[in-house]
């Protein structure tokens, strides 16, 4: 799935010959699964028709604050448009528009929307060679960069004037790649490898019976989704659940028993930057397993000898490097914080997510959870009951703040 999939993109088109290339930009954004709203200045319509752009974007092109021919005089609200956008691209950005952007002039819908925008704004200038070199233009570009706007520098080649040199707008494919790469770089877990365990484990007794638990896997799957949306490459090792996840940044490894989970976790752990063990691993397994179904009349199921499973979290804590971040989940009922801190120390963890047993809507099977995040530096943060996706966002925010951004 493209990083632009489902994103709302405002494409501002201004009046230069490169405006015809905005048609390709719309096509490319749509191909990536984005929603595109085109805003045109009136002079850009001399270079490309609104009909072409509205057909390609599947939305009426907007240009005026209101349509003079519309009896109802509906207002195109620039503030709403700006808030709708996840990305605002102005391409081509002419000398005229650049100077108005830099000096907060709002004499058309595109500029008013630009001045109201909160999302990342990219601008791709397009001008003739000497016009581009002109100090006033260079200063405007610098000023916009200092305002936090993202400059997509011009390319070099033949210009509409017949001259050759720097000034042409970057090609549409290059602009789309530029934006995709820029968004990725901004993602907080870009280039990070994350390992997550999820779900229950089943420990077979015989051919049909097992020891298991009610874990749904929802918390671990939410963690995987959030990590991927933050740019990480995720490996999700999960026990049996009814959940499905398709995301090109998440590799799902299905296991059944704690031993299988251990083998797979060990395999991926050495490559992982952050490992979060949210699986409800069975602490015990039957000492022996019958290949056949045990008949009830021979009474051998009345008691089952159990042995302990390996503590995967503890093993990872004993084998982790300084740079690796290891997070466990825990269920505590008394002296929660104190016990969690002891566990962090004993198992060499960087943090623990405490699950609440007593709160309604928290824990196994629910779509919501209520957790306390505790890290090895003694930070204790209690969160309200929220959706498991929101809980996973809180967890990653804490990890990023505590272990990456301050380093």
How many residues form the binding site for ligand CTP (CB under 6 A)? 15
Position 279 contacts ligand CTP (CB under 6 A): yes
In the sheet where 150-151 sits, what is the strand order? 35-40, 8-13, 87-93, 121-125, 150-151
Least distance from ligand CTP to the Cβ atom of residue 328, Å: 4
Spell out the residues 6+ positions from residue 401 whose beta carbon is closer than 8 angstroms to its own. none
Contact region for ligand CTP (CB under 6 A) — 12-20, 34-42, 60-68, 279-287? 279-287
Least distance from ligand CTP to the Cβ atom of residue 322, Å: 21
Position 272 contacts ligand CTP (CB under 6 A): no
The correct pick among 260, 311, 359, 390 for binding ligand CTP (CB under 6 A) is 311
Touching ligand CTP, residues 144-183 (CB under 6 A): none
Contact region for ligand CTP (CB under 6 A) — 42-50, 83-91, 120-128, 323-331? 323-331
Spell out the residues 6+ positions from residue 296 whose beta carbon is closer than 8 angstroms to its own. none
Contact region for ligand CTP (CB under 6 A) — 16-24, 93-101, 286-294, 306-314? 306-314
Position 224 contacts ligand CTP (CB under 6 A): no
What stretch of H or E contains 194?
Answer: strand 193-198
Nearer to ligand CTP, 301 or 331 (CB): 331
DSSP strands (E only) in 261-382: 274-277, 284-286, 306-308, 325-331, 351-355, 368-369, 371-375, 380-382
Contact predicate 94/14, CB 8 Å? yes
Contact predicate 326/275, CB 8 Å? yes
Nearer to ligand CTP, 23 or 309 (CB): 309
Catalytic option among 8, 77, 213, 348: 213
Least distance from ligand CTP to the Cβ atom of residue 283, Å: 6
Position 281 contacts ligand CTP (CB under 6 A): yes
Position 51 contacts ligand CTP (CB under 6 A): no
CB atoms within 10 A of CB 359: 15
Q: Which residues are 156's β-sheet partners?
A: 166
Position 371 contacts ligand CTP (CB under 6 A): no
Least distance from ligand CTP to the Cβ atom of residue 277, Å: 4
Q: Tell me the DSSP string of 58-99.
A: TS--B-SSB-TT-TT--B--HHHHHHH-SEEEEEEE-HHHHH
Provide the Cα torsion 303, 357, 368, 119; round to 10°: -130
Position 260 contacts ligand CTP (CB under 6 A): no
Decide the pairing of beta strands 210-211 and 203-204.
antiparallel
Nearer to ligand CTP, 287 or 297 (CB): 287
Contact region for ligand CTP (CB under 6 A) — 7-15, 80-88, 278-286, 364-372? 278-286
> In whole angstroms, what is the distance from residue 150 CA to residue 141 CA?
10
φ/ψ of residue 372, rounded to 5? -120, 130
Which of 356, 354, 350 has its CA nearest to residue 400? 350
Decide the pairing of beta strands 155-158 and 164-168.
antiparallel
> In whole angstroms, what is the distance from residue 306 CA to residue 278 CA?
23
> In whole angstroms, what is the distance from residue 371 CA to residue 381 CA?
9
Contact region for ligand CTP (CB under 6 A) — 24-32, 146-154, 307-315, 386-394? 307-315
Position 390 contacts ligand CTP (CB under 6 A): no
Least distance from ligand CTP to the Cβ atom of residue 16, Å: 57
What stretch of H or E contains 176?
Answer: helix 172-186
> In whole angstroms, what is the distance from residue 346 CA to residue 14 CA?
62
Position 326 contacts ligand CTP (CB under 6 A): no
Least distance from ligand CTP to the Cβ atom of residue 315, Å: 8
Contact predicate 228/189, CB 8 Å? no
Contact region for ligand CTP (CB under 6 A) — 55-63, 286-294, 325-333, 380-388? 325-333
Least distance from ligand CTP to the Cβ atom of residue 398, Å: 16
Spell out the residues 6+ positions from residue 330 whose beta carbon is closer than 8 angstroms to its own. 339, 340, 343, 352, 353, 354, 355
The correct pick among 104, 136, 331, 380 for binding ligand CTP (CB under 6 A) is 331
298 included as an active-site residue: no
The correct pick among 283, 290, 364, 381 for binding ligand CTP (CB under 6 A) is 283
The correct pick among 330, 371, 389, 399 for binding ligand CTP (CB under 6 A) is 330
Site of interaction with ligand CTP (CB under 6 A): 197, 258, 277, 279, 281, 283, 309, 311-313, 328-332
Q: Which residues are catalytic?
A: 213
């Amino acid at each position: 799935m493209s990083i632009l999939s489902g994103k709302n993109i405002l494409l501002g088109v201004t009046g230069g010959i490169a405006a015809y290339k905005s048609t390709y930009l719309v096509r490319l954004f749509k191909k990536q699964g984005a929603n595109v709203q085109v805003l045109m200045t009136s002079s850009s319509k001399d270079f490309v028709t609104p009909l072409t752009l509205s057909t390609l974007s599947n939305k009426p092109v907007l240009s005026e604050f209101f349509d003079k021919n519309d009896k109802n005089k509906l207002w195109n609200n620039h503030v709403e448009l700006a808030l709708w956008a996840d990305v605002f691209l102005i391409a081509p950005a002419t000398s005229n528009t650049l100077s108005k952007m830099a000096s907060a002039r709002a004499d058309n819908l595109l500029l008013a929307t630009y001045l109201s925008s909160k999302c990342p704004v990219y601008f791709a200038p397009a001008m003739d060679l000497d016009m581009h070199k002109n100090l006033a233009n260079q200063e405007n570009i610098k000023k916009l960069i200092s305002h936090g706007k993202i400059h997509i520098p011009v390319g070099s080649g033949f210009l509409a004037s017949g001259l050759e040199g720097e000034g042409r707008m970057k090609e549409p494919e290059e602009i789309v790649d530029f934006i995709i790469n820029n968004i990725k770089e901004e993602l907080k877990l870009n280039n990070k490898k994350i390992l997550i365990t999820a779900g229950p484990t089943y420990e077979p007794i015989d051919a049909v019976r097992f020891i298991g638990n009610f874990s749904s896997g929802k918390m671990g799957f939410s963690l995987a989704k959030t990590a991927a949306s933050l740019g990480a490459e995720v490996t999700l090792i999960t026990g049996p659940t009814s959940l499905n996840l398709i995301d090109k940044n998440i590799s799902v490894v299905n296991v059944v028993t704690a031993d299988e989970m251990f083998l797979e976790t060990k395999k991926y752990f050495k490559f992982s930057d952050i490992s979060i063990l949210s699986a409800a691993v069975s602490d015990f397994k039957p000492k022996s397993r019958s290949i056949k179904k045990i008949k009830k009349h021979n009474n051998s199921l009345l008691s089952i000898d159990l042995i302990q499973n390996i503590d995967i979290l503890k093993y990872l804590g004993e084998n982790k490097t300084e740079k690796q971040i290891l997070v466990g989940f825990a269920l505590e009922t008394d002296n929660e914080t104190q016990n969690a801190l002891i566990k962090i120390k004993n198992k060499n963890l960087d943090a623990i997510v405490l699950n609440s047993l007593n709160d309604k809507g928290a824990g196994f099977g629910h779509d919501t959870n209520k957790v306390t995040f505790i890290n090895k530096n003694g930070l204790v943060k209690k969160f309200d009951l929220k959706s498991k996706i929101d809980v996973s966002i809180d967890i990653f925010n804490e990890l990023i703040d505590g272990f990456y951004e301050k380093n």
